């Protein structure tokens, strides 16, 4: 899927007069060497990141370049707190810090605290409803993840499960794309999705992998505790995850294209499952 860039409908990049004259702006690096403002969820520098971790605030991930000096202690505290630590190049940290002095470490804060799978199941019990959960196996685009969260909230789902690595976390872009739904949705972040599927199976939740070679989704029985497993934009549901799922379902395509956007597929499956759970038909 093509990502939006900063071009206007005529194909020209929007620039200020200062940009066109080659002058540098003073608020963070952007395309072509120009500077942009650092997002509020980016924390840079050893002291600032160490204080962030000690505060207990939700942190999406930690980027580090080299592991010496106080960075060793910061990484240890991050791992103790369950925060994913990603080794990155100095150039990558320069980009992530928007030109600010990062001292080899950058933290990305989460928009809200993460929940656990048990928290999600508890929400279903409190509502006296069959669990309806969405499992995202590697969705990387924040707009897609935000849209999935919005669909899940509208369908009355009890929570979302996302992986710690190689996937999008709860960034400001996700919050915006969810149109506020993230505020009402429990999101669990797990070390790996295959393990999460086993946890759900042990809890009596039936798992449905959405893949093109499954049975038509309207032929499946959704009137039971269920989790819908959606794959990444390009890779789909991974083989290991799919092998652990109870069923594989598909949305029939009658046009010339062979697939839907992941958030659109989520809306179709979620609304059908929610209706069947509530009506039995």
pLDDT at 72: 92
CA 59 to mean position of chain CA atoms: 13
| Cβ–Cβ < 8 Å for 124, 131 | yes
| Cβ–Cβ < 8 Å for 63, 45 | no
Give per-residue pLDDT as tens, 195-215: 999 999 999 999 999 998 899
Instruction: Give whole-number Cα distances, 205 to 5, 121, 152, 161, 197, in Å.
Output: 40, 9, 17, 13, 9
pLDDT at 14: 43
Q: What are phi and psi of 91, to 5 degrees?
A: -65, -40
Helix (H) or strand (E) holding 153: helix 142-154
pLDDT at 110: 84
Give one DSSP letter per residue of 4-66, joined into a string.
P-SB-TTSPBP--HHHHTTPPPSS---GGG---PPPTTEEESHHHHHHHHHHT--EEEEEES-
**Domains, the chain:** 24-109 (3.30.1330.30), 117-279 (3.40.1280.10)
Q: How far apart are CA 225 and CA 202, in angstroms?
A: 12
DSSP letter at 218 equals G
| Confidence check: pLDDT of 190 > 80 | yes
| Confidence check: pLDDT of 168 > 90 | no
Q: What residues contact 213, with CB distance under 8 A and at least 6 apart?
A: 248, 250
Sign of CA dihedral 188, 190, 193, 199: negative
Give per-residue pLDDT as tens, 216-226: 999 999 999 99
Helix (H) or strand (E) holding 216: strand 206-216
pLDDT at 205: 97
Residue with tokens 């990141």: 49
Give per-residue pLDDT as tens, 21-36: 333 333 444 444 444 5
Region 236-248: mean pLDDT is: 93
pLDDT, averaged across the chain: 85
Q: Six-digit token pair at 259?
A: 């697939």
pLDDT band at residue 57 using 50, 70 and 90 as cut-offs: confident
Q: How far apart are CA 151 and CA 271, in angstroms?
A: 8
Q: How many Å is the Cα radius of gyration of the chain?
A: 21
Which residues sit opposite 228 in a β-bridge?
134, 208
pLDDT at 262: 93
Lowest mean pLDDT among 65-79, 125-139, 195-209: 65-79
Region 117-146: mean pLDDT is: 95
Give per-residue pLDDT as tens, 84-111: 888 989 898 888 888 888 889 999 888 8
pLDDT at 36: 59
CA atoms within 13 A on the CB side of 251: 21
| Cβ–Cβ < 8 Å for 261, 228 | no
pLDDT band at residue 12 using 50, 70 and 90 as cut-offs: very low
Do the bridges between strand 247-250 and strand 206-216 make them parallel or antiparallel, or are there none, so unpaired? Answer: parallel
User: The pTM is what?
Assistant: 0.76
């Amino acid at each position: 899927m093509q990502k939006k860039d900063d071009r206007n409908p005529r194909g020209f990049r929007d620039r200020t007069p200062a940009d066109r004259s080659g002058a540098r702006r003073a608020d963070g690096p952007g395309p072509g060497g120009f500077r942009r403002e650092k997002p509020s969820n980016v924390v840079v520098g050893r002291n600032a990141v160490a204080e962030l971790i000690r505060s207990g605030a939700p942190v999406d991930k930690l980027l580090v370049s080299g592991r010496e000096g106080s960075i060793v202690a910061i990484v240890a505290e991050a791992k103790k707190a369950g925060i994913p630590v990603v080794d990155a190049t100095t150039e990558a940290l320069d980009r992530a810090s928007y030109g600010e002095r990062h001292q080899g470490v950058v933290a990305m804060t989460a928009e809200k605290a993460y929940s656990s799978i048990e928290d999600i199941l508890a929400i279903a019990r409190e509502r006296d409803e069959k669990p309806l959960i969405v499992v995202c196996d590697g969705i990387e685009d924040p707009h897609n993840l935000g849209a999935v969260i919005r669909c899940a909230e509208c369908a009355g789902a009890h929570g979302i499960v996302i992986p710690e690595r190689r996937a999008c976390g709860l960034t400001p872009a996700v919050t915006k794309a969810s149109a506020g739904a993230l505020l009402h949705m429990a999101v669990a972040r797990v070390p790996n999705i295959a393990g999460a599927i086993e946890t759900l199976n042990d809890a009596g939740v039936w798992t449905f992998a959405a893949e093109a070679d499954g049975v038509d989704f309207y032929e499946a029985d959704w009137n039971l505790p269920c989790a819908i497993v959606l794959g990444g934009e390009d890779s789909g549901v991974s083989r290991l995850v799919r092998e652990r799922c109870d069923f594989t379902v598909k949305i029939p395509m009658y046009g010339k294209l062979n697939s839907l956007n992941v958030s659109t597929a989520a809306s179709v499956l979620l609304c059908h499952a929610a209706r069947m759970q509530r009506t039995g038909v």
